[in-house]
Every structure is written in structure tokens, then in C-alpha cells.
Amino acid sequence: MSKFIYQIHLILGVFVSIPVLAWALSGFLYALPNMVEGGTVEKIDVSRVKVTPAEAMLKANEVAGKQLPMTALTLLMKDGRPQYQSVGGLGADSIFIDAETGEARMSAPPSLKTRFFREAHFYYFTGSWQVTFLLLFSGLAALSAITGIYLNIVYWSKKLMRKQVRA
């Protein structure tokens, strides 16, 4: 039984490690904005923020021409100006809303490097299968972890039993 579980654990490790590695590396590089986006991290100048989050969401809907299922509205400094970034409903694209003037525009097309990291990190390359893909690999990762725990328990319990028999 342990040999079968060991083989399943090894196979799962191969299938699970590739997307998990891509996700981890892309997340690590997202933590270093100069590596991916080519920008810098600036402190938000709140005294310059004139547009409320609700107004920014309305502006994003206007630019998109429809009611967006927004998943995030982030206030950040971009190019020296406070801006909201509306994410959700547009795939890998987003809408920037100037927090001083309310001017809204679609995000510029990302560079090839940025696009790669977004695709790898958020699994956009899977299209409408994104949730299914994430659930599948989450389940496989959990199964891999469970088989690893089982194999460790079996290994260490046998090792302890041998030690007790010798004593």
C-alpha cells in the first residue's frame, strides 16, 4: 500500500509542482515591482485624492460601457499621481481613474514580460476554465500534501518501531 501511495505522491508532485512553481515565481516577482512593471512604489499623497471610491467605480463602468463585476479597486501612486485601479470583468486588463480629476482610461497594453507574469500568476491563459483549473490544481496539491504526510507518518512510525525493538 505504501509503495502505491509513494508512486501516486511522486506523480502528483510532477503535475502539481509546475503550476505551483509558476505561481510562486510570478508572485515573488510581483513583490518586486521594478522587475515586472518597470515602475516604482510611491507613498500615496492623500491630500491630492478628490474622487471617492464610489465615483471611481462609476467612471470605470462608463469607460467599459457596461456594469463591471469589479473584484478590486486599489488606490495607488502611478506616474506621480494618485490613481484608482479597477480590476475585474476585463480579464487581465484594468481601468485607471485619476483620483484628482476623475479622468478614466483603459490600462496600456502590458509588456510581454508583464503579460507573462500576469498570465502565470492569475492563470488568465486558461480563459473561462480559470476557476476549474485552480480548483483542480488546488485539489491535486492537497492530495499530494496528504500523501506526503501519510508517507512521513508510515516512515517515522516504522523507524520508531525498529528503534524500540533494538532497545
pTM here?
0.53
Average pLDDT over the chain, rounded to an integer: 84
Q: pLDDT band for position 56 (50/70/90)? A: very high
Do both 42 and 98 map to the same domain? yes
CA 9 vs. chain centroid, Å, equals 25
Task: Give residue 37's pLDDT.
Answer: 59
In a domain, 27, yes or no: yes
Q: Is the dihedral of CA 133, 137, 140, 146 positive or negative?
A: negative
Question: Per the structure, how many domains does the chain have?
Answer: 2
Q: Is residue 114 part of a domain?
A: no
pLDDT tens, residue by residue, 69-104: 888 899 999 888 999 999 876 665 789 999 999 999
Mean pLDDT of 118-145: 82
Cα–Cα distance for residue pair 35/148, rounded to 1 Å: 34
Q: Which residues span the domain enclosing 50? A: 38-109
Mean pLDDT of 128-140: 86
Same domain for 128 and 105: no
Kindly provide the residue ranges of all beta strands, DSSP E only, lying in the chain, ordered along the sequence: 72-78, 81-87, 94-98, 104-106
Question: Would you say residue 117 lies in a domain?
Answer: no
Q: Please say whether the beta carbons of 104 and 59 come within 8 A.
A: yes
Would residue 145 count as lying in a domain? yes
Question: What value does the mean pLDDT take over residues 24-50?
Answer: 75
Helices (H), the chain: 2-30, 33-36, 53-64, 112-122, 130-166
> CB–CB of 55/47 below 8 Å?
no
**Are 62 and 101 part of one and the same domain?**
yes
42 and 104 both lie in a single domain: yes
Which residues are registered as beta bridge partners of 78?
Answer: 81
Lowest mean pLDDT among 24-38, 45-59, 102-116: 24-38
Identity of residue 86: S
Is 46 in the same domain as 99? Answer: yes
Q: Are residues 145 and 167 in the same domain?
A: yes
pLDDT band per the 50, 70, 90 thresholds, residue 39: low
Is residue 115 included in any domain, yes or no?
A: no
